[in-house]
Amino acid sequence: MIQAGIIGGSGYTGGELLRLLHFHPKVEVTQITSREHAGRYVHIVHPNMRDVARLKFIHPDAVEACDVLFLCLPHKTSAKHIDHYANLAPKIVDLSADFRLSSTSAYEKWYGEPHAAPEWLDKFVYGLPEQKREQLTGANYASGVGCNATTVNLALYPLVQSGLLDRAFIEVKVGSSEGGNKSNAGSHHPIRSGAVRTYKATGHRHKAEVEMILGDDVAIDFAVTAIEMVRGIHLLAHCYLNEAKAEKDIWKIYRGAYREEPFIRLVSGRIGLHRLPEPRVVAGTNFCDIGFELDDDGRHLVLVAALDNLGKGAAGSAVQSMNLMFEFEETTGLQFPGIYP
């Protein structure tokens, strides 16, 4: 049994991690921090854990050595204190954006300032097991993933690898939990309720991760739109292929890429309501569902993908990466299939 600590555990991602790790047979969460809530039981902030976890939040200064630390801190915080955290645990999973990019120049381009700990960038492995499984196995440091970037990367990777994709125009619709648990003008209920608001039509920072994983040879543009949903991401991608293909060809490409992936489900039914992926179906899970429809010309492919931004887009991928880092069975603690309806 390994001992885990969660730094910054009062946010949505910290709560999701606590839920997942509590039921992991090889992990015990021994400490979880919050400056604001130090001394209070975790269920005060995460009510779903009432009578499940008896932990109390502790102040970050009270953290003791453990086997693995999950850092769920605001952007730019982890990098400033990474040496301190590395002295407390031999393995770290950082869920912020601080160590996602491998290049200091890319970080400065997309985040507008130099990296606070550039010497650490090449020590972290990007925490997307479907792309970095070999590097994550036995690794000491893993980054988190951007939830929007993860949806794009998983949905488009087979097309890019096949050399078929000429261009893609994507809209990513997201739930309110993507904005975190701190309120702002855009999350105020009278403003957020009923919203269909495109808040990043171009230049989303997660495009840096898309370019890092998929490369920049293929033109991929995406916009992000807030809708009235709490958790989840829905991707709709208009993909233009450089040659006409039949539906069976697309199936072959995607099955070839994802046949062995435990958390990628290919969805393209011909009957029933749920013929294409929906965020509601994957809520609370570590699944990414991917489906498609091919236009009559064989060159216009519409991809649809869905995942939980707090699950596969954050805490789920973090736990999956941790499993690889400790060389546990990769799916351990992540088999929850969600609830329906």
Active site residues: 147
CA 162 to chain centre: 24
C-alpha span between 112 and 117 (Å, rounded): 15
> Hey, what are 240's tokens?
């233009």
> Hey, what are 63's tokens?
């953290």
Angle at 215 between CA 113 and CA 219, to 5 degrees: 95
Residue 318 backbone phi and psi in degrees, to 5: -65, -45
Are residues 287 and 150 in contact, defined by beta-carbon separation less than 8 angstroms? no
Query: Helices in the chain by DSSP H: which ranges?
Result: 12-22, 77-80, 82-88, 104-111, 129-136, 147-162, 189-192, 207-214, 247-258, 279-282, 316-325
C-alpha span between 93 and 70 (Å, rounded): 5
For 217, other C-beta atoms within 10 Å of its C-beta total: 10
Beta strands in 248-329 (DSSP E): 264-266, 288-294, 300-307
> Hey, what are 267's tokens?
């969805």
C-alpha span between 117 and 262 (Å, rounded): 34
> Hey, what are 136's tokens?
């994550």
CA 65 to chain centre: 27
Q: At what angle do helices 12-22 and 316-325 cross, to 10 degrees?
A: 50
Sorted by sequence, the CB contacts under 8 Å of residue 280 that are 6+ apart come out as: 232, 340, 341
Are residues 197 and 185 in contact, defined by beta-carbon separation less than 8 angstroms? no
